[in-house]
Amino acid sequence: MHRLIERLGLRRQQLFAANADVVERLRNLARLGELAGDYLRRSPQATPREFARSIAAVADAGLREEEAGGDAPTGVAIASMRQAKGLEFDHVYVVGLHQARMPGSRRASYEPLPDALLREPVPSDTRAAHVVEMRRLLHVAMSRARRGLVLAYASHADQGAAQPPSPFVEQIRAVLGLEWEDRAEELFGPDETLHATFRRLRDELLEELPRVGMRLGELRFDTDLDVSHTVVRHLELVKLAALLERPAGQSVADALAGINARIMGAVTAQQREILESTGLDEALLEAEADERARAATIAARAEPSLEPFLPKRGDGVLLSASDIETYRTCPLKYKFARVFRIPQEPTLNQRFGIAVHQVLERFHVGGMSTWDEMAGLLEAAWRRGGFGDSDQEHQLNAKARTALQRYLERLRTEDSEPVWFEKQFRFSLGPHQLRGRVDRVDKLPSGAYQLIDYKTGRPKTPAQLRDDVQLALYSLAAREAWDLEAAEGAYHYVLDDEKVPLPPAAVDTDWISETVFTVAEGILGQGFEPTPSYTVCSWCDYRIVCPAAER
């Protein structure tokens, strides 16, 4: 952040400026770097774009970072559950307690460090450990309250999809014998604009009164004007108080006319002129119009415009491993690809992978066994794929021939027995349906089965496999659709002649089930907000048309 400030010359411009507030601006620039550091400590994986959005949101909300060492501000303290540790408050509101967030899905793991480099054992990265940690955090948040505690969740997502409460909170509710209280959504509360304006004008008036009182004892030509302005401030407070006490159901616009008529009948000509020029009435009427617009927006959420185009099956959705991965990568990409069905033109490497996959599929389905047969399939797939005569395409062809020859050699020497090819599956998970196709299923000497998916990319690391949706879904499908217990998934990286298995014990069925439900709820609720990042956007097929692409 400091390098960016220096590169843009922001600090240098202030140093040579002759403004009276130059010191405050320099301190603010220094504070910006500190805020960036604080944000990075809270969110180590955050991007610069996310930090910029956070700062912009704080600025738009009118919030202000207090100087370190000052008195603690009175008001509402907003903090994450981790940040609340060690603090205490009279009243605590814990919000967002729906199942998708508490406990929510386990976060993606990163490549672990070797044990030899660790000073002490680190917590295990499993679904069970995640649930225990989230339960502990909820206990921390709840135990911050001295007098009152409110647990809340949104029963429906923004687009109307139902959201069940956290099982942790349901356990608490059952023990205490309590029931949920339904509360309608109120973005700003009833008459929040009137209350906020009343408090602001009251505080300004209290600050101004001593100054006006001092001027009454001075020989000034504008003393009468000062008194009139102060009287007008009092009358505006009376007007706001009358609006707050207006009959239930009456709009501000309807009540304002009668209140103004009574006030105008009790003031001097000078005070009437000041009252008409303050702009308070226009601001209140505009705020009421904004509130009506917000209410209309909330009401419109119950009419999802894309519902006819969603892949619904009964009360659920139809999903594949590719659908789930696409949505988890970026919900907006899923919307482009699966809802709008915007066609994607495959890249050279994608066409190469399709050609290799077709060769293996037809080789096994056709009952072939020799290299000449496989080479003929490769030549036919190469023609269908529209490959040309560039150096890169010639290199890919040579790479494919070498990889397929090694594949054939491995096939002849392996102890496992291929039993199914392009084996399809379809099963239900709650109201949702899962479908897919496994490239190859082998029977191992132990009697167990191995579900193999061909890959032409780089091999995944063990940490990446722990959060791999495809293999976990295949293992679940083998049990639910084919009644195969203890079936392990494996990626066969054809170009590297390497097979990377995922043992059945490493498959977290709770995690994959919850991931399916989370993705399905997001799709049904039309939660298609983008999650841009340079890594994802750089290879996305829709980066040219996407308004949120990170470039």
438 forms beta bridges with 423
Question: So what's the pLDDT on residue 15?
Answer: 42
SS3 at position 367: coil
Is residue 209 scored above 50 in pLDDT? yes
- What average pLDDT score do residues 102-125 get? 64
pLDDT category at 282 given cuts 50, 70, 90 is confident
pLDDT category at 160 given cuts 50, 70, 90 is low
Amino acid identity of 410?
A: R
- Is the whole model's pTM more than 0.85, yes or no? no
User: How confident is the model over 412-450, as pLDDT tens digits?
Assistant: 998 889 999 999 999 999 999 999 999 999 999 988 899
Rounded to whole angstroms, how far apart are CA atoms 284 and 255?
12
Nearest alpha carbon to residue 126 among 453, 511, 544 = 511
Question: So what's the pLDDT on residue 29?
Answer: 65
Is residue 304 scored above 50 in pLDDT? no
Question: What mean pLDDT value characterizes the chain?
Answer: 81
Residue 419 host element (H or E): strand 417-429
Is residue 303 scored above 60 in pLDDT? no
Sequential DSSP letters for 112-133: PPPGGG-SSPPPP-SHHHHHHH
> Which residue reads 């199914």 in tokens?
420
- How many angstroms separate the Cα of 144 from the Cα of each of 73, 151, 174, 240, 425? 18, 13, 22, 36, 49
206-214 long-range contacts (CB < 8 A, ≥24 apart) are 208/233
Amino acid identity of 399?
A: K
Beta strands in 203-343 (DSSP E): 312-313, 316-319
Is residue 187 scored above 50 in pLDDT? no
- How many angstroms separate the Cα of 302 from the Cα of each of 314, 451, 525? 19, 42, 10
Residue predicted with more confidence, 491 or 6: 491
User: How confident is the model over 41-98, as pLDDT tens digits?
Assistant: 777 667 777 778 777 777 665 555 443 334 445 567 888 888 888 888 889 999 989 8
Question: So what's the pLDDT on residue 140?
Answer: 92
pLDDT category at 322 given cuts 50, 70, 90 is very high
261-265 long-range contacts (CB < 8 A, ≥24 apart) are 263/235, 263/238, 263/239
Question: So what's the pLDDT on residue 298?
Answer: 47
Residue predicted with more confidence, 542 or 32: 542
Highest mean pLDDT: which of 189-203, 325-339, 458-472? Answer: 325-339
Sequential DSSP letters for 251-272: -HHHHHHHHHHHHHTTS-HHHH
pLDDT category at 519 given cuts 50, 70, 90 is very high
- What average pLDDT score do residues 356-360 get? 94
Provide the pairing of β-strand 145-151 with 89-94. Answer: parallel
User: How confident is the model over 480-493, as pLDDT tens digits?
Assistant: 999 887 688 899 99
Q: Phi and psi for 497 in degrees, rounded to 5?
A: 50, 50
Question: So what's the pLDDT on residue 69?
Answer: 36
Is residue 389 scored above 70 in pLDDT? yes
Fold of 89-176: Double Stranded RNA Binding Domain (3.30.160)
Is residue 511 scored above 80 in pLDDT? yes
Q: Phi and psi for 318 in degrees, rounded to 5?
A: -100, 125
Whether the CB-CB separation of 460 and 468 falls below 8 Å is answered with yes
> Is the CATH code 3.90.320.10 the one for domain 348-537?
yes
Question: So what's the pLDDT on residue 461?
Answer: 74
